[in-house]
């Protein structure tokens, strides 16, 4: 499974969970993303080791100078988890109703990144200097 397919699945999962109002699954997804980022045991790399493909289609990348010895995909997972989990926590637990848009926007943006192959969060983390 490439990062594109993974992001498309994550985006579709976020949108379906929001539509069916299964709030706890958002928190489970955020914990899963943080676990993947901290341990670097990613579902995409495990699936490529089990089922190798000749040339996996990945995300759009560009060359930048590396400043940090930390993978950009790991940093992007942490950013997604904290923004999604934080906004959803403020929305559902504290009743800040003006944040209803943010989880939906993230779901559509992540789904769009999976479909198009251009993830702005990964590009931003690479531009900052992550590996």
Instruction: Report the pLDDT value the prediction gives residue 42, as an integer from 0 to 100.
Output: 86
Residues 58-117: tens digit of each pLDDT: 676 667 778 888 898 999 999 999 999 999 889 888 888 888 899 999 999 999 999 998
Q: Which two tokens stand for residue 27?
A: 């928190």
Cβ pair 29, 118 in contact under 8 A: no
Q: What is the pTM of this model?
A: 0.87
pLDDT > 90 fraction of the chain, expressed in percent and rounded:
51
- H or E element, residue 73: helix 72-92
Q: What is the pLDDT averaged over residues 20-26?
A: 93
CA distance 68 to 73: 13
Three-state DSSP class for residue 34: helix
Which DSSP category does 58 fall into? -
Instruction: Report the pLDDT value the prediction gives residue 40, as an integer from 0 to 100.
Output: 87
CA distance 17 to 39: 25
Instruction: Report the pLDDT value the prediction gives residue 61, as an integer from 0 to 100.
Output: 67
The terminus-to-terminus CA distance of the chain in angstroms comes to: 21
Average pLDDT of the chain to the nearest whole number: 88
Instruction: Report the pLDDT value the prediction gives residue 68, as an integer from 0 to 100.
Output: 87
């Amino acid at each position: 499974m490439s990062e594109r397919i993974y992001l498309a699945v994550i985006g579709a999962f976020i949108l379906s969970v929001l539509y069916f109002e299964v709030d706890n699954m958002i928190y489970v997804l955020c914990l899963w993303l943080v676990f993947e980022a901290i341990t670097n045991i990613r579902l995409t790399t495990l699936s490529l080791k089990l089922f190798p493909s000749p040339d996996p289609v990945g995300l759009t990348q560009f060359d930048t100078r590396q400043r940090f010895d930390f993978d950009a995909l790991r940093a992007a997972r942490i950013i997604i988890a904290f923004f999604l989990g934080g906004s959803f926590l403020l929305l559902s637990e504290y009743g800040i109703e003006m944040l209803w848009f943010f989880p939906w926007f993230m779901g559509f943006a992540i789904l769009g990144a999976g479909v198009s192959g251009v993830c702005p969060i990964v590009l931003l983390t690479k531009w900052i200097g992550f590996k």
